Chains A and B, each alone.
Chain A
Amino acid sequence: MVLPRRYSGSRFTLAILVLASATLISLDARGYEPVTNLKKAGIVIVQPFRSLARVVFDPVGDAWESLSNGDELERENALLRSQLDQLLEYRIANEGAVNDLAALRAQLDLLGLGGQETAVAEVTAGSVSNFDPYILEINKGTQSGIREGMPVISTGGLIGRIENPGLRDARVRLITDPGVNIGVLAIGTKEIGILSGNGVGQPLKVTDGIPISAPVEVGSILVTSGLDRSPYPEGFAVGSVVEVIPNEVNLEKELLVEPTGQMKNLDFVTVVLYEPPGRG
């Protein structure tokens, strides 16, 4: 059958575009560097328009957020006020200890957080897709010493790791992503498990590594283990256990864990400029 010229022409165009897409997908999935550079070049082209649009649209987004999250903000405010009162009392009681600690840190020449250098970055955007809600964008990149995989923390603890850093920006992959796994240690024990993300608004999960007899209970704090070429240094708070589900079959405990790091309404985050031994 001879196709009308119009249809055969459009099918040829479509075939070329499909082929180009499939090639790009294949190359990008293999981490082919020119494709990564193409991505970065595209981002640079659009960046001036984004910056301009941000000035116009940010107030609209903020207004929408305050409208849609009004009740939550009130609850958060009340909680923060009570926490502030507690902290003030605690501070008065421990002022001497704080001074001692500061002197000790200076003596040991500890820089930044846990002896690691850090970079504070502004959160410029949240996720821009319906299918990947586990991303934040920040305004610092390789120019500030940020590298792939570096841990990112906010008030309270670890919230994610750096992904695909550009020169002056980077993405943060949040620990709520089901694809993220972190080696964690339960404080006060020697039990190490693998913690995984479990989706937006869901507690994190530890499904492997905690024996049923281990003294890990509701309220236990989990920190990064820092073992075995872990991309995270040891000792960063990750979450607190909110539920323990014993598994009688494999004699392990499954833990549901509430992240300790603040992940909502973030303006700034801290990137720990840590590279695991052997990588840097």
Chain B
Amino acid sequence: MAAVSVIKNAIAIIFLLILQLELFSSLRFFGVMPELVLAGAIAAGWYGGPVGGAVVGFTGGLFYDMYLATPLGLNALTYALIGYLLGQIANFLSEDAELIIRLIISVAAVSVGLLMFVTFGELLVQPNLYNKRFGKVLVISSLYTGLLMMPIHFLMAWAFNAHRLLLPSSLGRIR
């Protein structure tokens, strides 16, 4: 990654983290908030490939971990894997794939990310992440994050200097 891209990615991660901590922790639907940092890792996978997705996911997750009672590294692990996975999927997906397909895959990836987080947490250290609220959190958070996925795609495309792919002529195709 070039130095400019590193700085842009740092700005994007901090921006998403601040939004998550200060705005969307209050703007909850049925007590559930979106997972913006996870969405950032997913979008980073689309535009930065497996390495970009994994590194952005790890860094974003690590910063988010600092504010949570769960052990440091749990979100970093999950988001790095999800960013990597999305990077691989983006590599195999046709460049002509419609935007809606990409958004649906992104929303599904949020659900997978939440499942992975809870699974790792239960297996490794933190009991009680899987509880009776989990189903509600999984569904509402995935949909809520899906609503915000479009601007996050734009943000990460900017961070990876891929904004040329978002010109009006290619709006239906992101890449």
Residues of A within 8 A of B (CB): 7, 9-10, 13-14, 17-18, 20-25, 27-29, 35, 38-39, 42-43, 46, 49-50, 53-54, 57-58, 60-62, 64-65, 125-133, 135, 163-164, 171, 173, 178-179, 199-200
- Can you show 5 pairs from A to B with CB atoms below 8 A apart? A25-B71, A38-B72, A57-B23, A60-B23, A125-B25
CB pair A64–B58 under 8 Å, yes or no, is no
Query: Which B residues are in CB contact (< 8 Å) with A39?
Result: 65-66, 72
CB distance from B107 to the nearest CB of A (A): 16
CB pair A128–B67 under 8 Å, yes or no, is yes
The answer to whether residues A130 and B35 also contact, given A29-B125, A199-B132 and a CB cut-off of 8 A, is: yes
Query: Which B residues are in CB contact (< 8 Å) with A29?
Result: 71, 124-125
A46 to B17, CA, bound (A): 9
CB distance from A146 to the nearest CB of B (A): 17
A129 to B133, CA, bound (A): 13
Q: Which of A9, A18, A24, A49 contacts B18 (CB 8 A)?
A: A49
CB distance from B22 to the nearest CB of A (A): 4
The answer to whether residues A42 and B63 also contact, given A13-B51, A14-B54, A24-B71 and a CB cut-off of 8 A, is: yes
CB pair B141–A130 under 8 Å, yes or no, is yes
CB distance from B58 to the nearest CB of A (A): 5
Closest Cβ neighbor of A51 among chain B residues? B22
CB pair B80–A18 under 8 Å, yes or no, is yes
Contact code string B2-38 (vs A, CB < 8 Å = 1, else 0): 0000000000001001111111011100011101000
Q: Which of B14, B74, B81 contacts A46 (CB 8 A)?
A: B14
Query: Which A residues are in CB contact (< 8 Å) with B49?
Result: 10
CB distance from B135 to the nearest CB of A (A): 12
- Does B68 make an interface contact (CB < 8 A)? yes
CB pair A14–B84 under 8 Å, yes or no, is yes
A3 to B27, CA, bound (A): 46
CB pair B63–A46 under 8 Å, yes or no, is yes
Query: Which A residues are in CB contact (< 8 Å) with B129?
Result: 131
The answer to whether residues A171 and B69 also contact, given A14-B80, A57-B26, A60-B23 and a CB cut-off of 8 A, is: yes
CB distance from B119 to the nearest CB of A (A): 12
A170 to B165, CA, bound (A): 44
CB pair B51–A9 under 8 Å, yes or no, is yes
A126 to B20, CA, bound (A): 12
- Does B77 make an interface contact (CB < 8 A)? yes
Q: Interface residues of B, CB < 8 Å — how many?
A: 54
- Of A9, A14, A27, A132, which is in contact with the most chain B CB atoms at under 10 Å from its CB? A14
CB pair B118–A131 under 8 Å, yes or no, is yes
* Additional pairs, 12, CB under 8 Å, beyond known A10-B51, A42-B62, A46-B17: A10-B87, A13-B54, A20-B76, A21-B76, A25-B73, A25-B77, A46-B14, A46-B18, A49-B18, A57-B22, A60-B27, A200-B133
Query: Which B residues are in CB contact (< 8 Å) with A53?
Result: 18-19, 21-23
Query: Which B residues are in CB contact (< 8 Å) with A17?
Result: 54-55, 58, 76-77, 80
- Does B160 make an interface contact (CB < 8 A)? no
CB pair B14–A49 under 8 Å, yes or no, is yes
CB pair B33–A130 under 8 Å, yes or no, is yes
CB distance from A27 to the nearest CB of B (A): 8
CB pair A61–B50 under 8 Å, yes or no, is no
A17 to B56, CA, bound (A): 11
CB distance from A128 to the nearest CB of B (A): 5
Query: Which B residues are in CB contact (< 8 Å) with A61?
Result: 22-23, 25-27
Q: Which of A20, A49, A179 contacts B128 (CB 8 A)?
A: A179
CB pair B66–A28 under 8 Å, yes or no, is no
Tell me which residues from 138 to 174 in chain B have a Cβ below 8 Å from any Cβ of chain A: 141
Q: Which of A18, A43, A132, A135 contacts B81 (CB 8 A)?
A: A18
CB pair B68–A132 under 8 Å, yes or no, is yes
A216 to B21, CA, bound (A): 43
Query: Which A residues are in CB contact (< 8 Å) with B33?
Result: 129-130
CB pair B69–A132 under 8 Å, yes or no, is yes
- Of B31, B32, B73, B129, which is in contact with the most chain A CB atoms at under 10 Å from its CB? B73
CB distance from A198 to the nearest CB of B (A): 11
The answer to whether residues A42 and B66 also contact, given A10-B54, A130-B35 and a CB cut-off of 8 A, is: yes
CB pair B27–A22 under 8 Å, yes or no, is no
CB distance from B115 to the nearest CB of A (A): 12
